[in-house]
Structure 1
Amino acid sequence: MEIRLLKDGDDLPLDLLLEADPSEEFVRKYCGRGCVYEALVGDSLIGVYVLLPLSGTAVEIKNIAVAEDVRGRGYGKKLILHALSEAKRLGFANVEIGTGNSSVNQLMLYQKCGFRIDSIDRDFFTRNYPEPIIENGIECRDMIRLVYTF
């Protein structure tokens, strides 16, 4: 797997980004302010993540997605570890990530990678998204915020 930083002018892998965040408006906005990394196996795009600086010491993994047909093969963990390595290389002390209360697999993965639950933004998704988001048979309402500290 090769992971590379997209350059200005490169097309955003919107199909994959929208799997992790259903709002194209939000995705375009934070991609424009952050760094977008894509993962390739051969010529196939299999993953993406966005690093968005929050301050001089903190950065957020704002979006992370793995193509559905290759999930369960460890690519998500490799993307997280790459994002942590990039954040450290860029001089950040903390990496934040948020996910929905219904995203049980993501919550498990992030904690296995060393993230700790930091806070809960109650009703984040119901406040910010017009359509209900259902995942794993659970309505996604609350944002679970996690932090990794170097």
Structure 2
Amino acid sequence: MKRDYIIRKHSTDEAIPYDLLLLADETKEAIDKYISTCTIFTLVHRITNEIVGVMAVKQINSDTVELKNIAITAQYQAQGLGSDMLSFLKSHAQEENLLQIWVGTADVGFQQHRFYMRNGFEMNHIRHNFFIENYADPIIENGLQMKHMLVFAYRLKTNTD
């Protein structure tokens, strides 16, 4: 972790950082479908106390969490902070004795695919027609309509590995 930043659990009495969450999800309504069941972590600048990153993590079952949202403020992107947040999540999940972390992203989100694969995630499964069935209007990225959600998984090391 860069020394200028800390990652902390977001307090339930703090406002939900929708401005950041909307960088990675299309609508507030979509975020509201999952956010109440998530643990939110924020990346905070130590000096300014500005929240520059966010992660929303949902427990799927006893051995798996899903990263529902991760975003870094535009001016702080491409500095390794997203990877730092993923490293934090991996450590946190390891401490919780979890076996894997899932993250879903659009079938046409090629930059996101590279980001997750660079951070050790591998393609796991597809949620067919996810973006067609869950969003009222078509969403275009990279000149293509989002249709399917690709789910990547990171398998955590266990004592038996």
TM-score range, shorter chain: over 0.9
Which consecutive aligned stretches of 4+ in structure 1 deviate over 4 angstroms post-superposition? none
The residue that corresponds to 2:21 in the other structure is: 17
Q: Give 1:28 shift.
A: 2.6
Alignment of 1:69-148 (within 5 A): 69-148=75-154
Equivalents in 1 of 2:80, 2:132: separation in Å?
Answer: 31
Equivalents in 1 of 2:140, 2:74: separation in Å?
Answer: 17
Equivalents in 1 of 2:56, 2:76: separation in Å?
Answer: 19
Q: Give 1:4 shift.
A: 0.7
Query: What letter matches 1:31 in structure 2?
Result: I
Equivalents in 1 of 2:13, 2:30: separation in Å?
Answer: 19
Q: Give 1:136 shift.
A: 2.1
Equivalents in 2 of 1:71, 1:138: separation in Å?
Answer: 23
Q: Give 1:58 shift.
A: 0.6
Equivalents in 2 of 1:134, 1:66: separation in Å?
Answer: 21
Query: What letter matches 2:62 in structure 1?
Result: G
Equivalents in 2 of 1:62, 1:71: separation in Å?
Answer: 19
Which of the two has higher C-alpha Rg?
A: 2
Query: What letter matches 2:139 in structure 1?
Result: I
Equivalents in 1 of 2:142, 2:75: separation in Å?
Answer: 18
Number of residues of Structure 1 aligned to a counterpart in Structure 2: 150
1:54 to 60, 67, 72: 60
Tell me, which stretches of 5 or more residues in structure 1 are unaligned?
none
The residue that corresponds to 2:159 in the other structure is: none
The residue that corresponds to 1:33 in the other structure is: 37
Equivalents in 2 of 1:136, 1:22: separation in Å?
Answer: 15
Percent sequence identity over matched residues?
29
Tell me, which stretches of 5 or more residues in structure 2 are unaligned?
157-161
Instruction: Classify the secondary structure of the residue corresponding to 2:29.
Output: helix
Query: What letter matches 1:98 in structure 2?
Result: G
TM-score relative to the length of structure 2: 0.88
Equivalents in 1 of 2:30, 2:94: separation in Å?
Answer: 26
Instruction: Classify the secondary structure of the residue corresponding to 2:22.
Output: helix
Instruction: Classify the secondary structure of the residue corresponding to 1:82.
Output: helix
Query: What letter matches 2:73 in structure 1?
Result: A
Query: What letter matches 2:82 in structure 1?
Result: G
Q: Deviations over 1:100-128 (max 9, x none)?
A: 01211111111111111011122210111
